[in-house]
Structure 1
Amino acid sequence: MEKIKIESFLDVYSSKDELPEAISSLMDAAFAARERAYAPYSNFLVGAALLLDNGEVVTGNNQENACYPAGLCAERTAIFYASSQYPDAKMLTMAITARARDKETTDPIPPCGVCRQAIAEYEIKQEAPIELYFMGEKGKVVKSASLENILPLLFTSKYL
Structure 2
Amino acid sequence: MVFQDHRLFPHLTVRGNLTLAEKWGGRKARVALDDVARFFEITPFLDRKPGTLSGGESQRVSLARGVMAADSLLILDEALASLHPPRKARLLEQIAALPTLIDVPVLMITHSPAEALRVSQKAIGLSKGKIAATGDTRSVLESCGFLKEEGNHA
TM-score w.r.t. the length of structure 2 is 0.33
Return the index of the structure with the highest Cα Rg.
2
Structure with the higher helix share, 1 or 2: 2
Structure with the higher strand share, 1 or 2: 1
TM-score w.r.t. the length of structure 1 is 0.32
